[in-house]
Amino acid sequence: MQNKNHYVAIMAGGIGSRFWPMSRTAYPKQFIDVLNTGKTLVQWTYERYAKFIPAENIYIVTSEEYVDIVKTQLPLLPFDNILAEPSKKNTAPCIAYVSFKLAQMNPDARFLVAPSDHLILEEDRFQTIALQALDFVEHIKALVTLGIQPTHPNTGYGYIQYEGLEVTKGVFKVKTFTEKPDLEIAKSFLESGDFLWNAGIFAWKASSILAAFEKHQPEMYELFDQEKIHFNTPEEKQAIQRIYPLCTNISIDIAVMEKANNVYVMPSSFGWSDLGTWNSAYENMEKDYLGNAVASDNVIVIDATKCMINSPKDKLVVVQGLDDFIVVDTKDVLLICSKDKEQSIKEYVAEVKRNKGDKYI
C-alpha cells in the first residue's frame, strides 16, 4: 500500500558534460540510453520510484528546454508534475522550489530527492532503505542522506563521515562532509572505516528542509516564501520566472547540509553508480572475452582490449589495436580518448568550444 504523503523529486536538469560527445547541451545524458539497455536513464529512474511512490506524487524537475523531452520519454507522468526551471542554478534552488510547492499542497509531505542519471542495480534493497528513511523523518525533524559503502578510494565522489553510535537501526549522525578528495586522502577515508560516498539522495519532511533553508539560506528562503501563494496555481510559472534570476547558484550540500546540525546518514549498499563518466558506464556494461564494452550492434573489434565503444547503430565501426580506450562516435563528433584521461573530457569540451563555438557542445 503506497503512502499518499510520500513524494519524490527527480532532478533532471544537468548537462552531463563528462559523457560528451554523446551527451549534449540540447540532449543530455539523462535522456540517453547510455548502457544500451533499451531505456534511458530518466526512464529507469522513474520506474524505480513508481514501484513505491504514488504515480501522482512523482515530480521531475528539469530545465525549460528539456520539458518536451521529459513529456515524450515519460508519457505516464502528468504534465503538471514536470517542474521547469528557467535557468540552471544547481540543486539548492531546485530543492527549495519543490519543498515550497509540496508544503503548500500537503503539510505532511515527506519526500525523496534523487538524481535522474544514477544506476541502482538492487532495486528491492534500495526501496527498503528509501522507505525506512521516509519513516524516520516522519516524527524526527531530520535531514537524511543515503551514504554508499565505498569499495575503493574514488576521487570523483564527495564523502560523508559519520558518528559510531546508531541513532536508530541503520541511521547515524553525520560528522562532516568532504568534497572530492585527492587519492591519498581518499585512501585514508577508506582505511578509517567511518566514511561513505555521498550519493546525493536525500529524504526529509517538506517542513524540515524548509526550516533548514530559513535558518541557513534566509535570502533564498525569502524569495520563495514571498511567492508561495502562487504555487499550485496557474501563476506558478510566472512566480518561478521572478524567483530564479535572484537565486544563488549553489548546491544543497554547501547551502544546507554542511551547515545544519540535524543531518543523518544511512550507510547503504544497493548496487549504486552515479554513472558520471564513460569509465563508470564501462564498469556496468557486459564485456566480451577481451574486456571490451560495446554499446552498439554494428561494431567489429579486432585485437582491441578493455575498450568502451559507443556508436550509432546505422554506422559500421571497426576498432583495431586499441587498449584501454574510450571510442564514442556520433553523427558529427568522434572521440578517441585513453580511459585514464576520462576526467579531462570536460577540458576537451572547453577546448572544442574555444575553437569551434557551441556547434558541437
- Regarding whether 90 and 26 lie in a shared domain, the answer is yes
pLDDT tens per residue across span 80-137: 999 999 999 999 999 999 999 999 999 999 999 999 999 999 999 999 999 999 999 9
- Regarding whether 239 and 118 lie in a shared domain, the answer is yes
Instruction: List the chain pLDDT tens, one digit each, 361 residues.
Output: 789 999 999 999 888 888 999 999 889 999 998 888 899 999 999 999 999 999 999 999 999 999 999 999 999 999 999 999 999 999 999 999 999 999 999 999 999 999 999 999 999 999 999 999 999 999 899 999 999 988 888 878 888 988 888 888 999 999 888 888 788 888 878 777 788 999 999 999 999 999 999 999 999 999 999 999 999 999 999 999 999 999 999 999 999 999 999 999 999 999 998 888 899 899 989 999 999 999 888 999 999 999 999 998 889 999 999 999 999 999 999 999 999 998 899 899 999 999 999 999 9
Q: Cα-atom radius of gyration of the chain, to the nearest Å?
A: 21
- Regarding whether 114 and 74 lie in a shared domain, the answer is yes
Q: For residue 96, which of 237, 199, 250, 260 has the smallest C-alpha distance?
A: 250
At 229, the amino acid letter reads I
- Regarding whether 259 and 296 lie in a shared domain, the answer is no
3-state secondary structure 242-279: HHHHHCCCCCHHHHHHCCCCCEEEEEECCCEECCCCHH
- Regarding whether 215 and 136 lie in a shared domain, the answer is yes
- Regarding whether 297 and 244 lie in a shared domain, the answer is no
- Regarding whether 161 and 306 lie in a shared domain, the answer is no
Which residue range(s) make up the domain with 233?
Answer: 6-273
Q: For residue 299, which of 314, 284, 286 has the smallest C-alpha distance?
A: 314
Is 361 domain-assigned? no
Q: What is the count of structural domains for the chain?
A: 2
Residue at a domain's end among 273, 296, 317 = 273
- Regarding whether 326 and 209 lie in a shared domain, the answer is no
Per-residue pLDDT, 178: 85
Residue at a domain's end among 273, 304, 322 = 273
Residue at a domain's end among 253, 273, 293 = 273
Is 116 domain-assigned? yes
- Regarding whether 311 and 176 lie in a shared domain, the answer is no
Is 177 domain-assigned? yes
Is 1 domain-assigned? no
> Rounded to an integer, what distance in angstroms lies between the CA atom of residue 170 and that of residue 266?
6
Q: For the domain that residue 163 is a member of, what is the CATH number?
A: 3.90.550.10
Per-residue pLDDT, 224: 97
- Regarding whether 303 and 258 lie in a shared domain, the answer is no
- Regarding whether 329 and 250 lie in a shared domain, the answer is no
Cβ–Cβ < 8 Å for 8, 114? yes
- Regarding whether 155 and 47 lie in a shared domain, the answer is yes
E strands, the chain, are: 6-11, 58-63, 82-85, 110-115, 119-120, 143-148, 159-168, 171-178, 195-205, 263-268, 272-273, 293-295, 299-302, 308-310, 317-320, 325-329, 334-338
> Rounded to an integer, what distance in angstroms lies between the CA atom of residue 262 and that of residue 316?
55
Class of residue 258 by CB neighbours under 10 A (exposed 0-12, middle 13-18, buried 19+): middle
CB hemisphere CA count around 282 (13 angstroms):
19
